[in-house]
Each structure stands twice: as structure tokens, then as C-alpha cells.
Amino acid sequence: MTKTICIGCGGELQNNDPSAPYYTPKDMTVSTLCQRCFRLRNYNEQYSNVLTADAYHKLIGQLASLNVLIVMVVDVFDLEGSMLGQIHKLTGNNEVLVLANKRDILPKSTNDQKLVHRIKKRLADSGITARDVILVSALKKVRIDEALDKMTRLSQGRDMYVVGATNVGKSTLINAFIKATSEYKESLITVSNHRGTTQGFIPIPFENQTLYDTPGLYNKNHVSELLTPEESTRVMPKKEIKPKTFQLKEPQTLFVSGLVRLDIYPKERSTVTVYTSDQTVLHRRKTEDSETFHQKHLGGLLNPPDKPLDQLFVKRDYNIKSIKRDIVIPGLAIITVNGFTKISLYLPQQLIAYEREALI
């Protein structure tokens, strides 16, 4: 018997064990959803089931022996954390087209051309050769037709695999492609705020070729590792971010939620702009007693998390020169610093920030 997969998540359907994954009480000869997808869609119940890195490499590594187009989706809010540095190792000589998703959460005033240019540079610096980069929004349907056109031209009839980290919006994009090219106006594939929604390859017939959705690679440095699903959903920007800018002349401390403490020592006047969800607490105060303040208010005024964390905070120093630099906290914030400034950043040891030339 050929295996039947859940059309929502790609897991292998079964009728035997209601407590095991991908159970359905329904007839499996017609396309159907597993109970997990049904609950995720109707009650937003979370089932954490992300692939290990090994399982992911094994699964996506199969593509190296096929002749296909790879469509790698990255999240513009967490570019470095979401791009697959090993993409060429995993997918061999296949060409890679990059779709930079979630354009809608960056300010409308952002110059798209410059942004694409900078994304290309970041990809190249990480050893990723992209045939092209298209800035899209799966949610707001931005450049969906352009992406489809490019995919059709580059694939030349070959199958296409949409790959990327968890939660970058692969399945939402595929739903948008389906809606743009068929009569089907429902979201066919399950999407959610939780990481690890797609569980296996989901084939979508596309004219004479097949487009595949795939599970995401899990990044353990992402902020949602330290937060409950509800807290993670809060810090995930859902609409256009309104950046907040602070002018600094003297040392100050900035808290971004309870997870990030920045002690900022400007050498001359400098500005710090924070891009984060409107539900993330931003708090500025004098540097002197910031450590005591942090300990006292972590999990309260400084949230999320809504409870104190049982993790040590690790300090890292940055010396920012006059050109604009970003400090990125994966999944939580982009902090753009302008002006000669020394910064001491305190983060839970599990989180890793990265510094780069300003993206926006």
C-alpha cells in the first residue's frame, strides 16, 4: 500500500492509534487532515514536534541526488538565524532561489532595492549562491506573482522544493501560490505560530511539475526557545513594526523585554533604534543600578518571560563605529546603533546575538 499523508502537515496518516502522531478516524483513501492539524487549526493547540538537525539533514539531503529547483525562504526579521548556511551541501548542484518573506513587518518606508542588495550580500558572505532574491510577503500577498514567474522560469519544468528554517512562512507562501493559481481559496496547508508545523514533504501539483512543502530546520538560538508558546506569539511581530529611536548623550540602559539588557555608553551623541513587536516591553533607565533592577523586575515589569528565568545572563561587549550597525536578537529585535558607541549586551546564555551592517 502506498503511504497516505496528511494534506495539512505531510505526516504519514494512520487509523490505528489515536494517541500517536498523524491519527485520523476518517477514511484515508480521500485526502484528509490528521487530528493534530485539525486541532491546530481549530483550537490552536500546540504540538511541538520539530525534527532534530540530523533528521533534517537526512531528509533535505535527499534533494542532492535530484534535479530540482530549491526555493529557500528566509525571514527578513531574522535573516541570519533563518538562512540555511549548509544549503548547497544539502541540495548539491541544484540552483537556489531565495524568497525573503515577511516584508510586511518592516516599515513601509524601507527601500526595497537597498534591502535586497544587502540581503544578497549577507547571503554571499555566508557562502550561499542565490540565482535571485525576491522580497515577498506571504501574508499580505506581496510579489507572489513575481515569485511564481521566477520559479517557473528557473525550474523549466523541474520539480520545486520550498525549504527553510521553521516558521519563516514556507507553508503560508505555498498557500498563497495555490490561491494565486487555482480556484482554491482556502488555506490548504496547515500554518501556525508554533515552530515545527510541517512534518514531511507535501506535494502540490503545479501544472506539469510538483511543488513540495518541507519541514523547517529548527534554530535553538531563537528567542522562542526560552519562552512559552503564548509568550513567543507575543514577541513575534504580526504587523508593520513602528521603530523606536532613542537619542543618547550619556550612559543609559535599555531593556528589550526581560531577555535583553543593553548598557550603552555613547562616545558622542548617538542613536539607538529598536525594531520589535509592539507587545515587547521596552524600558530605558540610568545604568547605575540596572543589574539590581533587572533581577527585581525580570518576569514582571520586564516581560516576557512572565516568570523569572533560570538562566545565567552572559555579557558581551560591542564597539560600534560611526556607520550604522545592527545587533540582532533572533526572533526578538533588531537594534540599530548609529554613532561611536560602546555597548555591553547581557543575554541569557542560550541566546546568541549577531552583529552586522544595518539591514534597514
Ligand X SMILES: Nc1nc2c(ncn2[C@@H]2O[C@H](COP(=O)(O)OP(=O)(O)OP(=O)(O)O)[C@@H](O)[C@H]2O)c(=O)[nH]1
For binding to Mg ion (CB under 5 A), which residues are involved? 170-171, 197-198
Nearest to 32 by CA among 20, 18, 50, 14: 14
Q: Which stretch binds ligand X (CB under 6 A): 55-63, 82-90, 99-107, 254-262?
A: 99-107
Q: Which is nearer to ligand X, 78 or 104 (CB)?
A: 104
Cβ pair 60, 36 in contact under 8 A: no
User: Of Mg ion, ligand X, none, which one does residue 266 interact with (CB within 5 to 8 Å by kind)?
Assistant: none
Distance in angstroms (rounded) separating the CA atoms of residues 59 and 65: 12
Instruction: Pick from 104, 231, 263, 326 the residue near ligand X by CB under 6 A.
Output: 104
Is 138 an interacting residue with respect to ligand X (CB under 6 A)? yes
Distance in angstroms (rounded) separating the CA atoms of residues 251 and 119: 32
Torsion over CA: 282, 283, 287, 291 (sign): negative
**Smallest distance from ligand X to CB 62, Å:** 17
The H or E element that residue 336 is part of is strand 333-338
**Smallest distance from Mg ion to CB 213, Å:** 6
Is 198 an interacting residue with respect to ligand X (CB under 6 A)? yes
Instruction: Pick from 5, 139, 211, 351 the residue near ligand X by CB under 6 A.
Output: 139
The H or E element that residue 234 is part of is helix 229-235
User: Of Mg ion, ligand X, none, which one does residue 104 interact with (CB within 5 to 8 Å by kind)?
Assistant: ligand X
Q: Which is nearer to ligand X, 248 or 274 (CB)?
A: 274
Distance in angstroms (rounded) separating the CA atoms of residues 87 and 127: 9
Q: Which is nearer to Mg ion, 49 or 110 (CB)?
A: 49
Residue 107 preceded by cis peptide, ω within 30? no
Give the phi and the psi of residue 256 in degrees, each rounded to 5.
-115, 105
Query: Cell numbers at residue 69, please?
Result: 529547483
**Smallest distance from ligand X to CB 93, Å:** 25
Q: Which stretch binds ligand X (CB under 6 A): 59-67, 80-88, 98-106, 272-280?
A: 98-106
Cβ pair 351, 325 in contact under 8 A: no
Is 232 an interacting residue with respect to ligand X (CB under 6 A)? no
Is 266 an interacting residue with respect to ligand X (CB under 6 A)? no
Is 279 an interacting residue with respect to ligand X (CB under 6 A)? no
Instruction: Pick from 24, 101, 276, 341 the residue near ligand X by CB under 6 A.
Output: 101
Torsion over CA: 343, 358, 162, 104 (sign): positive
**Smallest distance from ligand X to CB 113, Å:** 19
Residues 6+ apart with CB under 8 A from 80: 122, 126, 328, 330, 354, 356
Cβ pair 64, 92 in contact under 8 A: yes
Distance in angstroms (rounded) separating the CA atoms of residues 118 and 353: 19
Residues 157-176, mask of contacts with ligand X (x by CB under 6 A): -------x-xxxxxxx----
Is 144 an interacting residue with respect to ligand X (CB under 6 A)? no
Is 331 an interacting residue with respect to ligand X (CB under 6 A)? no
Which chain residues interact with ligand X by CB under 6 A?
101-102, 104-105, 137-139, 164, 166-172, 191-193, 195-198, 215-216, 238
